[in-house]
Amino acid sequence: MTMADTDPHAGDGPIPPSRRDRRGNDLAAYDADAIEVLDGLDAVRKRPGMYIGGTGSAGLTHLLWEIIDNAVDEAAAGHGNLIEITFHVDGSYEVADRGRGIPVDIKEGDATALEVVFTELHAGGKFGNGAYGASGGLHGVGASVVNALSSRLVADVNRNGRTHRLEFRDQEAGNADAAGRFRKGHSLKVVGKVPPKRTGTRVQFWPDANIFDADAEISYAEVRERAKQTCFLVPKVKITLTDRRSEPFVTAKLVSSGGLADFVEEMRGSSDPVGGLIELYGTDEFTEQVPVDGQLTEVTRHCEVDVAMRWSASFDTRVVSFVNTIPTPDGGTHIAGFERALTTAVNGALADADLRKLRRLRDEGRAQREDAQEGLVAVVRATFPEPQFRGQTKRQLGTPQVQRIVNNVVRDGLRDWFSGAAASSKRVHVKAVLDKISDAVVNRVTTRRALDERRKAAALGSGGMPAKLADCRLHPEGELLIVEGDSAAGPAKRARDSAWQAVLPLRGKVVNAGKGTAKAVLDNAEAMALFTAVGGGSGPAFDLDQTRYSRVVLLADADVDGSHIRCLVLTLVYHYMRPLLDAGRVFAAQPPTHAFTIGQEKRFVYSEAERDALIAGLDTAGRRYRLTRFKGLGEMDDDELFETTLNPETRVLRQITVGDAQAAQEAFEVMMGTAVDPRKNFIISHSSSYGHALDI
């Protein structure tokens, strides 16, 4: 048998296009030539997402933080307390520190240590050789990755009374001559003199436009926020941040002396405190197996745990965590240890207090994680050498032994605080915290029991639904229309398509979910009618798969009262049915404000600006018209309501996304929260926007 007998393509002439790649290579030719080896920084440029998470704004920001982290590590190690960050108008970014300065002596062949740091992956002073006790960098790829993804980089190092410069163009080392021409080479250029004791490093880099997305940019506000966090983590370090990309320049000078305690107070904001500030500290050691000279060797690590925390009157939880000076927004083993210890200590304290309100709940009276953390503001930091992160972007700690250490420190510290043995513990503070947590337990159990009862009732058929609900026949394909009271419900029920559109009128004001307790929300008839009609439950137990409609549409009047109703309903959805927002299933109808009758034609406008523009156009053309203003949906006839707000082909809906909810979070907290002063200040400062100033 010949080869032509077994290969269907043999002898058929040229290889068909389907068997070639985009470069025209034969896909079937998988031999040694098909194996590609990426040398040096080529691997970073080929797969930047592996090192910085992506090529958008987040990845670009990660580049800057790789250089900033190196400066912070120097400051944390006690070498210099000033870091200067500059955004330049030409699109470059600069970080200068007063640390020891990257070594400038020869490291490999003709290359200095400075060149090796920026050109070799996994080269640095943070691999346990004593240069750093604990640092943010551990992979040794930060500086080299920045160079790999930059079209140009300039590094100046102050050491030995001189400023040494090495420049990189397209990752190649060299320096510019007197005429400004770049010449490749390994030698450093002395560009100035400094006092013998002045040391430090200045790095300026220009991100490669061919690598990053066209709209990628670094947010000054985001960098400022993280720089502020860094000052809390490294007390007395000074960070100056200057944005020269626009006129006038924006400059911030940041410093903190109170450490994590200041950080907690900053995060708490205007929310009233419950109990006192709790600061926990402890140390322990653990062993792990690491490769040394090609063999696994057991080494001992020293780990320090710092925690600052306090409860507030808010219902929101904010726990931020760090490993050394690196934020870990995705948590990790240190947060797992913290949460476990917190729940254990809280339940021990509740058992000792033997509160009557929990006694009635019997076996259900134990606090769960969300109960213990309701209103909690905390900063958790673990400091130890060579942490193991999950991924180069270092968002989550993976070192397993740290969980045990954090758990022990937090559990023992909180046990002393709740029992009154700690010096900072006061009986009135302990009582306030336990009362808040026990209220959270009662509210959760009450909510679950109420939902269970309503779900059982709903499972029996339409009899379990609110009496005022005009339901549709199609589930879950239909949509729920929420209207204001009976005046709008009548036309909506007549004009709707009853096959897939249900109408739920809300009478009176919905409870303010941003201010009221869970019990107050469950006791509110309008809120419970909405929960029952939607069918997915509420709060942490909300189940998107159990909802009875594909979307929820808010039909509110185009006036102040309508905006208030819409805000209250959205606040309720945001706090108790958040998955609806995450899934993009909440919409707001845009009702018209006016109708123009022009001969036999009727035209609708949705704002006063549209009204004025149409009037001007009609007057100019000499057209006669009749203008009708809609004060509410109840004033429309059935055909008008159908055309403007119910007909999918002609209505205007605005999708309310989780992004909208996040952007509106400040408004929810200020205008709907418990604190009065922020709301008063907001109204005063914005009163001129409504045509008058308030006399207060």
pLDDT tens track for 421-438: 999 999 999 999 999 999
696 confidence band (pLDDT: 50, 70, 90): very low
The rounded distance, in Å, linking the Cα atoms of 476 and 546 is: 9
Q: What is the mean pLDDT of residues 63-86?
A: 92
How far is residue 226 from each of residues 72, 76, 383, 391, measured CA to CA in Å?
A: 12, 16, 18, 20
Judge whether 594 and 618 are in contact, CB under 8 Å: no
* Bond from prior residue into 327 cis (ω within 30 degrees of 0): no
The confidence band for 99, taking pLDDT boundaries of 50, 70 and 90, is very high
- Centre a 10 Å sphere on the Cβ of residue 183 and count the other Cβ atoms it contains: 11
Max CA distance (Å), the chain: 102
Mean pLDDT within 638-657: 86
Asked if 107 and 81 count as a contact pair (C-beta separation under 8 A), the reply is no
pLDDT score for 49? 85
Which of these ranges, 144-153, 552-561, 565-574, 683-692, has the smallest mean pLDDT? Answer: 683-692
Q: Which residue has the tokens 């995705």?
A: 330
Beta strands in 47-132 (DSSP E): 82-87, 93-97, 106-108, 111-112
- What string of DSSP letters covers 147-164? HHTEEEEEEEEEETTEEE
Q: Which CATH number fits domain 261-443: 3.40.190.10, 3.30.230.10, 3.30.530.20, 3.40.190.100?
A: 3.30.230.10
Which residues of the chain does CATH 3.30.565.10 include? 46-254
Residues with a known catalytic role? 484, 557, 559, 561
Q: pLDDT tier at 593 (50, 70, 90 boundaries)? A: confident
Q: What kind and span of H or E run contains 205?
A: strand 200-207
pLDDT tens profile 528-579? 889 989 998 888 888 999 999 999 999 877 666 667 788 888 888 988 899 9
Least confident of 196-200, 360-364, 377-381, 404-408: 360-364
Percent of the chain exceeding pLDDT 90 equals: 50
Reported in sequence order, the residue ranges of 293-360 that DSSP labels E, i.e. its strands, are 295-312, 318-323, 326-327
Sole residue written with tokens 């004791």: 197
Q: What is the mean pLDDT of residues 148-161?
A: 96
Helix H or strand E segment including 638: helix 638-641
Which tops the pLDDT comparison, 442 or 659? 442
Contact, 394 vs 326, CB < 8 A?
Answer: yes
Mean pLDDT for the stretch of residues 495-520: 83
Confidence class for position 592, pLDDT limits 50, 70, 90: confident
Give yes or no for residue 58 having a pLDDT over 80: yes
Q: Where are the beta strands (DSSP E) in 90-149?
A: 93-97, 106-108, 111-112
Q: Contact at 8 Å (CB) between 137 and 69?
A: yes
> Which of 184, 243, 197 lies closest to 219 in space, CA to CA?
243
Are 401 and 338 in contact by the 8 Å Cβ rule? The answer is no
Query: Mean pLDDT over residues 95-111, rounded?
Result: 91
d(CA 469, CA 489): 10
Burial grade of 77 (CB within 10 A; 0-12, 13-18, 19 or more): middle
Answer yes or no: is pLDDT of 664 > 70: no
Band (pLDDT 50/70/90 cuts) for residue 203 is: very high
**What's the confidence (pLDDT) of residue 556?**
79
**Which ranges in the chain are annotated with CATH 3.30.230.10?**
261-443
Which tokens in the block code for residue 171? 């990752």
Reported pTM: 0.59
d(CA 614, CA 77): 68
What pLDDT, on a 0 to 100 scale, did the predictor assign at position 628?
87
- Stretch 586-603: mean pLDDT, rounded? 88
Q: Which CATH architecture has domain 46-254?
A: 2-Layer Sandwich (3.30)
Structure token pair of residue 317: 């939880």
Residue 298: how many other CB atoms lie within 10 Å? 9
- Among candidates 118, 226, 217, 232, which has minimal Cα distance to 172? 118
| C-alpha distance from residue 336 to each of 319, 391, 401, 439, 667 (Å) | 12, 18, 11, 24, 32
Q: In 10 A of CB 471, how many CB atoms?
A: 19
Query: Which of residues 419 and 560 earns the better pLDDT score?
Result: 419
Residue with more model confidence, 279 or 688: 279
Which of 501, 504, 519, 578 is CA-nearest to residue 543?
578
pLDDT at 330 over 70: yes
Average confidence (pLDDT) over 260-273:
92
User: Can you give the pLDDT at residue 419?
Assistant: 95
Mean pLDDT of the chain: 84
Torsion angle in degrees (nearest 10) through CA of 467, 469, 472, 477: -120
| pLDDT for residue 408 | 97
CA pair distance 257, 246, nearest whole angstrom: 31
